[in-house]
Structure 1
């Protein structure tokens, strides 16, 4: 699918009991400086006024601007992938959207400007840093800043781009379609980063924030940089969550073996083999695979996981 002179962005919004902040998000989408967008909202069984709010905006924007469908009711990952793999959604670019953020007015404009520099037959993914805000939309900080280039060897153990910032082209979307909406992965955004970077695609991490990422008690996924969060992450690692998640992602990537570059396939196989060996071969295999995390603290946690056989 070749982008038109005025490429259309399909915004993939997933909702679930989102009445508290949904209007703020929808208003920020309506305020975009890039006007060529349509929105598809997949509701996962909301029991509050979420559907009424969507109906209100559908009447305000027109039915062509906003389509509402029912999600699979199997969690946020399945809901997002069900939209990304819905064949009746056709656009030049696709943007994941959470229900409780506030987009900067130039969010889509900046993403489209970069995506248009990439050939339409090359999978491409834009993502960015985020401005963290509290429940009342007051600034509380920023998401971590990553400086190393995005790549598959990084994507295997870390996601650098929040899904709410991600915009990707049709070539990337075709890879998600090929893998299938039923793929068992940890997160839709991490999966997208792995797929695009592993299949000869291009990934751009914008160090300038593109939205206000709201942190509140009802977050399914959030950004917590406190020491308590570090302790919680270590507990998950010790209990095997990181190892289990790596296993899920690796198994899912095997669906795309024919699309992965030879280098990506070697990295995947070397890393997977290392996970099942005893200590010295395990550490050697991790080094040989080239798999790494951004920032020194991330590398230390990856090394600790390898030593404890939790990768």
Structure 2
């Protein structure tokens, strides 16, 4: 929690990355907004981006292209950064009372008084506008598909109050890009994209369960639900099932496209990384859980690299 003698506009957030460029280089007035959109924690937009890039690469393989469309990859990255920031801002607006009661989050900009709710709402709209501009660069079908995701995004912050499975709703929202990459390439959604979407949902439930173990004591006190609390001491078994099913669904998606050894090798490396997470997890070590959660960025690279290599070799 920030020291009371420290000015509100320069106070750090308890769970923020220390020494990040956003805190060192941005003007003091801009720092609370950087924290609202979690600018110092890129892992969030990486996890939102991976299903988009996987789907784009898988579609490139299916289309016989030599590599994923670079412009689409850039647009998806910009959109992921903007919409992840918008989602975090929206979540902080909705959860401001809960955040004030949890040690790790009570120093976030809204409960700490660094940003008013009205200012946060304006910032949310600006980020959403950037996401809309990105979406409008795609075909009509993809635009409609992207807009359809907003319903799931809107209800997610409330799910932790009514279900033990808020991570599943997060999966529905964060994995939407698995449909989008294919829709942007082909103007439709087909079975390989649906299988990849299912795989991404299962993967998301797994990694966010690991993340939720950081807050399980506070969550239990304030009445917030999560799969971390639901699985408890059975978390390793639950992760084995979730991650195993995710890899199986990804294998189905790749099989539908008829991939060769590069994509299969990428999937095997991805599966090995998830197996390492399962073996390494200690649910009573918050720092260790955070490290494992963040390592999913690297897991995403493994699968993506395999798909890109597959497209390149097939198109050569």
TM-score between both structures, scaled by the size of structure 1: 0.29
Structure with the bigger percentage of helix: 2
| Bigger RCO (CA 8 Å, 6+ sep) | 2
Structure 2 length-normalised TM: 0.29
